[in-house]
Amino acid sequence: MTRIEIQATLQEHKKRLDDFLFDRFTDLSRMYLREAVKLQQCEVNGRFENIGYKMRPNDFVEISVDMTRGTAMRPEKIDLDVVFQDLHLIVINKPAGMLVHPTHRDKSGTLLNGLTHYLNSENDGAFIRPGLVHRLDKQTSGLMVIAKTAQAHRVLSDHLKRKLVKKLYVALVDGVCREDEGIITDSIGRFADEKRWGVKEDGKTAETRYRVLERRDDSTLLELEPITGRTNQLRIHGASIGHPISGDTVRGGREFDRLCLHAAHLAFKHPATGELLEFLSPVDFDPVSSEKKKAGVG
């Protein structure tokens, strides 16, 4: 841990303490810096303040941080599929196989690393910190919205909590679904001994709506809408009704060249204008192509 002392400038008057820290420690994640404040590792004028404290000119800030945690905002040049962007946000079509943010084992090659480079490589102004509003699993592809300002991040995160953000997924599942549509309500929890998430009687309430898009010989293309946001919810719920997602071999799905789960539809209100933004990302899960790849053909 390194003890760092900083003094607020006139231009930082009325800036929230967390935003002040975000701007000063661009290599560290929002989550880590907020946690440092909550754990009383940060003092303003010798007092512990909350993250919403409004800064005043010449405020004296002392904070203890672990600078080796600065991997999430380390810029890396990575090809990104940018769907839309403006001054407040950016919408990305994430490929399957890409982590959203660094972990203890994977320190680079993530979406956040790529976004940090993309947003700042030709930026002459203040550092732009990509703010995650929601996440996708490494093997899941599709649409994500990322905030470019602290205010946009707060508004979009609030909208997500209030279920004002619409997210629809397309999944190819094993077997032919008989019902045209339905709701899965199996509770989800973590099995600590097995280090896995699954259907659990004393787990948290979970709800997924599904609708058949196309029936094939031995599989079904589904539209999935997660009403709740539990860990691995769509994979777990698919398997719980006897239709695991193709490629999810851990839960009984057939082998495929990828996990057949894609965030295909994203709609939300713009955090600054209130305008409804809606994005679609088509996907094609082709079993024939998958078999060819496994056989080394094409």
Tell me: the pLDDT tens digits for 124-138?
777 888 989 999 999
State which of 35, 69, 103 marks the end of a domain. 69
How far, in Å, CA of 258 to CA of 219, rounded? 15
> 298 lies in a domain?
no
> 273 lies in a domain?
no
Angle between helices 17-24 and 150-161 (to 10 degrees): 120
What type of residue sits at position 6?
I
State which of 164, 191, 224 marks the end of a domain. 164
Residues 139 and 181 in one domain: no
> 19 lies in a domain?
yes
Residues 99 and 121 in one domain: yes
Residues 38 and 62 in one domain: yes
What are 109's two structure tokens? 């090659």
Phi-psi region for residue 242, left (φ > 0), alpha (ψ -120 to 50) or beta?
Answer: left
Whether the predicted model's global pTM rises above the 0.75 cut:
yes
Catalytic residue among 23, 137, 248, 257: 137
End-to-end CA distance of the chain: 52
Could you list the residue range(s) of the whole structural domain that residue 106 is in? 71-164
- Nearest partner of 102 among 68, 79, 128, judged by Cα: 68
pLDDT tens for 198-235 read 999 899 999 999 999 999 999 999 999 999 989 899 99
Supply the CATH number for residue 42's domain: 3.10.290.10
158 is catalytic: no
Residues 60 and 104 in one domain: no
> 185 lies in a domain?
yes
What are 91's two structure tokens? 């919408």
State which of 69, 95, 113 marks the end of a domain. 69
**How many domains in the chain?**
3
pLDDT tens for 150-175 read 899 999 999 999 999 999 999 999 99
